[in-house]
Structure 1
Amino acid sequence: MPGSIVVLAPDSFKGSAAADVAARALAAGWSDERPGDHLVLRPMADGGEGTVDAFALAVPGATRMPVTVLGPDGRDVTCDWLLLPDGTGVVELASASGLTLLDPLLPRDAHTYGFGQVIAAALDGGARRLLLAIGGSSSTDGGAGALAALGARFLDEAGRSVPFGGGGLEAVAEVDFRELRDLPPGGASVLTDVANPLLGPLGAAAIFGPQKGASAEDVRALDAALARLAGLLDGIDPDTPGAGAAGGAGFGLLAWGAALTPGSAAVAAALDLAGAIRGADLVVTGEGAYDEQSAAGKVPHHVAAIAAAAGVPAALVAGRIGASTESFAQAVSLTELAGSGERAQAEAEQYLRRAGAALARGFSLSRPR
């Protein structure tokens, strides 16, 4: 009988394997056991690292467009934006202004100027619509750096440009948007699964500042600086869910006119994941740590929901499983396969391949060949 159709739609295994790498490793393991099956690779993302790579693998005809920009610490960074055949440009903050680009961390000085430069390059390159993935930020600058790269000016009392970074916003007294570039004709969607406001105890500085190296004193100063920025941008509500994403870059992009949208859902729609799943026999999804947050709306949850709507069973692979997997037909933990979390993380591709093989064996037992 003909082979089965299996859709592989994992998120990245953060710190171990990008989503496209994970999808290929799972596919290799599955093919070891069931070489006659048809595998459809649809690596997923929620707006964080790996979003460009996921689109590059899943969308035929997507073109990588390299660009060199100013990194979050002032050093040059070379990264890509992606031009899709329909004219959409996919831009990823993490590759231009991300946390992994810093050593040491710079809680007050890191900025998003490079991210804005990549957006500008996409506009110059003919992108008619933008998907902006903003996870993995290194800074807490309210998106001011990105907006400055797009033509905005952030001035102090003397009319001088304030320094880049959240610390520079402590002196901002005027925001000039007269030279700010227009959105592309199809607009810009900001991909994020973060719902935090800009300010306060659940805001950008308080919740995400410490992971970017911010001390308690830094957090207070950065929150005050962001409040100062918000006070200068009338009409943009700092309490908007997601305004605090990426150190407040969500807020800055709202001020540009972009729209915030749930990352997992937007990526799934852009990749037509529902279309790929329709008619499949199994969907495999996964991420590094499957926990209660995952079950509340991360990539595996969203993929499983699309599969359920299509009447297709879903399987889960995770580096570590810490929540109920009752909504999945099968579940495999890389930590259990490897015997330890450290080994699973260090040799993620090997254990992802083994996980793919294990799922294929389980699938074979549950279905006639």
Structure 2
Amino acid sequence: MTRVLLAPDGFKGSISAAAAAAALAAGWRGARADDVIVELPMADGGEGTLDAFLVAVPGARRMPVTVTGPHGREVAASWVLLPETPEAPGGTAVVELASTSGIELLDGDLRPFDADTRGFGEAIAAALDHDVSRLVVAIGSSASTDAGLGMLVALGARVTDAEGLDVAPGLRGVRAAAGLDRSGLRALPAGGAVVLTDVRSPLTGPAGAAAVFGPQKGLAPDDIADADTALARAGALLEIDAAHPGAGAAGGTGAALLAWGAELVPGAERIADLIGLATAVGEADVVVTGEGSFDASSATGKAPARVAALARAGGRAVGLVAGRISPDADTSGFAAAVSLVELAGSTEAALAEPARWLAVAGESLARRLG
């Protein structure tokens, strides 16, 4: 009998980490019914972060909240309340940008100049209203390039133009921003705030938020320079170092969180610590991880890299399953690697039935690693 740890990240735009783990487990049991399987969905600060905490932390509770989405309409979202501890007697709140102001909420209708982070700030405000002792905020999968100003407005700040009027939401407002009044800005909880992100980009420049991530959010090539100038203006208003690693995360939301007093940390690494990944790996004989697209960048802060590193350090066999495995990806550290696209025969087929093909992958890995 083998003890198996299944710790995949979500397959972006296809299936959540929790559902992916469940499908892998079903497939594994089809080949090795007597094995003990532990499902521990992973995340790196993007979508699926709340689910990872709900599965891993006993007593974690989902707290519903209605916020303003990146399209300007109401979104039924939630944050997660972690149990009280001596260090956090009021509990810890986990708030996820992806489910409140994330790009998936736009359903393909990108709004490069108008999407903002107001909903994310509203969810943080709801957690503060609950008198939590500390915050953990995850800022992956952003829809906007608003330097986090929408979030700050939702938390009580005021952003004004040269005439003293409130600016519009999104990048459109950042371009007009001339003043930032923090007098009404809510304070951090007593235990502070930790920001989970897998992005180490500066706020501005060729590696900054506009240049690297703006096109994903709908910015045309001719818009990048103007957006970068606007972000530089926002950085000056926020009084932060624009070169700080992670300031450019989530369209500059990292910069606003720095200005608020939060600490930016590598998402996958901190989530792994918070959900007890090292202990789970130590108790396993075989570990399986994965994500939607495994490529050369997967080794730089992504959840599967963290899982694999812990597994190899403990001498555990580790398998990989990914929607697609890029030709430039180094899979030499895995005892077995499976691509859903190869199993299904095409990207379209893999995306149409991810749970089916993950089950097939789970069965294949069980035969090879069990």
1:345 and 2:343 matched: no
The residue number in structure 1 matching 2:44 is 46
C-alpha displacement of 1:164: 1.2
2:360 corresponds, among 341, 354, 364, to: 354
Structure 1 residue 349 displacement after superposition: 0.3
For residue 15 of structure 1, the aligned residue among 13, 20, 25 is 13
Distance 2:70 2:130 in 1: 23
Q: Secondary structure at the match of 2:156?
A: coil
Q: Secondary structure at the match of 2:7?
A: strand
For 1:271 and 1:320, how far apart are their aligned partners in 2? Answer: 27
Larger CA deviation: 19-28 vs 304-313: 304-313
Superposed counterparts of 1:147-296, under 5 Å:
147-234=152-239, 236-296=240-300
Q: 5 Å matches for 1:100-115?
A: 100-102=104-106, 103-115=108-120
CA contact (8 A) 1:317 1:332 kept: yes
**1:325 pairs with 2:331:** yes
Distance 1:284 1:146 in 2: 36
Deviation at 1:233, TM superposition (A): 2.6
Unpaired runs of 5+ residues, structure 2, are 85-90
Judge conservation of contact 2:116–2:143 (CA < 8 Å) in 1.
yes
Q: Residue deviations 1:191-216, cap 9 Å, x none?
A: 11111111112111111111111123
- How far apart, in 2, do the equivalents of 1:314 and 1:280 lie? 10
Deviation, 1:61, is: 1.5
How many residue pairs match? The answer is: 361
**Contact residue 167 and residue 222 of structure 1 kept, 8 A:** no
Question: Which runs of no fewer than 5 residues in structure 1 stay unpaired?
Answer: 365-369
* Stretch of structure 1 that moved more, 31-40 or 66-75: 31-40
Letter in 2 for 1:343: A
1-structure distance, mates of 2:257, 2:227: 18
Q: Distance in 2 between matches of 1:116 and 1:57?
A: 25
Rounded to whole Å, the distance in 2 between the matches of 1:160 and 1:356 is 57
Task: Give the structure 2 partner of residue 367 of structure 1.
Answer: none
The alpha-carbon deviation at position 72 of structure 1 amounts to: 1.2
Displacement of 1:254 in angstroms is 0.5
Distance 2:143 2:12 in 1: 16
Per the TM alignment, residue 13 of structure 1 is displaced from its structure 2 partner at its CA by: 0.9
Residue deviations 1:132-173, cap 9 Å, x none?
111111110000000111111111222221111111122222
Tell me the residue number matched to 2:30: 32
Structure 2 residue aligned with 1:138: 143
TM-score, normalised to structure 2's length? 0.95
Write the letter of the residue equivalent to 1:276. A
C-alpha displacement of 1:320: 1.3
Q: Tell me the amino acid that sits aligned with residue 148 of structure 2.
A: G
Aligned partner of 2:73 in structure 1 is: 75
Given that residues 128 and 186 in structure 1 are in contact (C-alpha distance below 8 angstroms), is that contact kept between their aligned partners in structure 2?
Answer: yes
Contact 1:29 1:353 in 2 (8 A): yes
Tell whether the 8 Å contact from 2:13 to 2:104 is kept in structure 1 after alignment.
Answer: no
Distance 2:332 2:221 in 1: 40
Once the two structures are overlaid, the 10-residue window that deviates more, 124-133 or 139-148, is 124-133
Quote the offset at 1:121 in angstroms: 0.7
Give the superposition deviation at 1:129.
1.6
Alpha-carbon separation, structure 2, partners of 1:4 and 1:242: 40
Alpha-carbon distance in 2 for matches of 1:157, 1:290 = 46
How far has the Cα of 1:246 moved from its partner?
0.5
Q: Using the alignment, how far apart are the partners of 1:173 and 1:294 within structure 2?
A: 39
Indicate the percent of aligned positions where both proteins have the same amino acid: 58
